[in-house]
Amino acid sequence: MNTVKIDKYFKGMVAHRGLSGIETENTINAFLAAANRSYFGMECDVHASKDGKIIVSHDDTLLRLGMLNVYLPSFKYDEIRKFTLIDRKTGNLSENITIPLLTEFLQICKTYRKHGFVELKQNLSNENVESVIDEINKLQMAENISIISFNDKYLSHIKKTHPEFNLYLLTDIMTDKHFDFCEKHHINLDIHHDKLDENMIKRMHLIGLKVAVWTVDDKDTAEKLIKMGVDYITSNILE
């Protein structure tokens, strides 16, 4: 199995949770698979463990990827690391596939010179958010990481305390309220691809903001969005 190639002149492809169309999402395998391809960047999702470690996982439970009904934030990271995940290629649990730390994702981005998109999931404290910032800064990667979230409070906090960071508001709809928030705080837009039109892209670009879309796995749709002028496309399998 391999990626599906699209417009070779577009340099804004982002691997969704790593190359999750081939490898188990949000794992070292998925990030390395993306790192060794032509992607501009790759995306991950973060939660916090009971002992404050920033872990990489989309879900806050292991029901979908680990066949266990456990709530991850209630465990310390040394416990979480012992849980095994399903290998996407075989459909079986693999002792070699576990939940990584944000620092591991960041190190792969740095080593392979990929831009990282870090999604802050719900139920993070301000202390957790600051830990994310600290880990990025320890590796001197602020210029090469974008922080994305559906939670506008996280984004407002970071914009106020760490204005050097590149931020994106995630949304599955677009209203004047969303646009006003982006314009007021100078925060970019990351929107579901079928809720976007060319006028909105132009409107964002006119105020100096970028537009990313998620999650596009259809080649024709991606190439249509490129012609419309989007800056980044997040995909599970397109490259």
In a domain, 8, yes or no: no
Rg (CA), the chain: 17
Rounding to the nearest 10 degrees, give the CA dihedral for residues 30, 32, 35, 39: -20
Average pLDDT over residues 138-166: 97
Among 32, 60, 35, 33, residue whose Cα is nearest residue 46: 60
Q: Report the helix count and the strand count for the chain, using DSSP H and E.
A: 8, 13
In a domain, 6, yes or no: no
Q: What is the model's pTM? A: 0.97
Average pLDDT over residues 75-104: 97
pLDDT (0 to 100) of residue 75: 98
What phi and psi, each to the nearest 5 degrees, are found at residue 178?
-65, -45
In a domain, 4, yes or no: no
pLDDT (0 to 100) of residue 1: 83
| Distance, CA of 120 to chain centre | 8
In a domain, 41, yes or no: yes
139: domain CATH number is 3.20.20.190
Q: How many domains does the chain have?
A: 1
pLDDT band at 181 (very low <50, low <70, confident <90, very high): very high
Cβ burial, residue 111 (10 Å; 0-12/13-18/19+): exposed
Q: What percent of the chain has pLDDT over 90?
A: 99
Average pLDDT over residues 164-189: 97
Average pLDDT over residues 47-65: 98
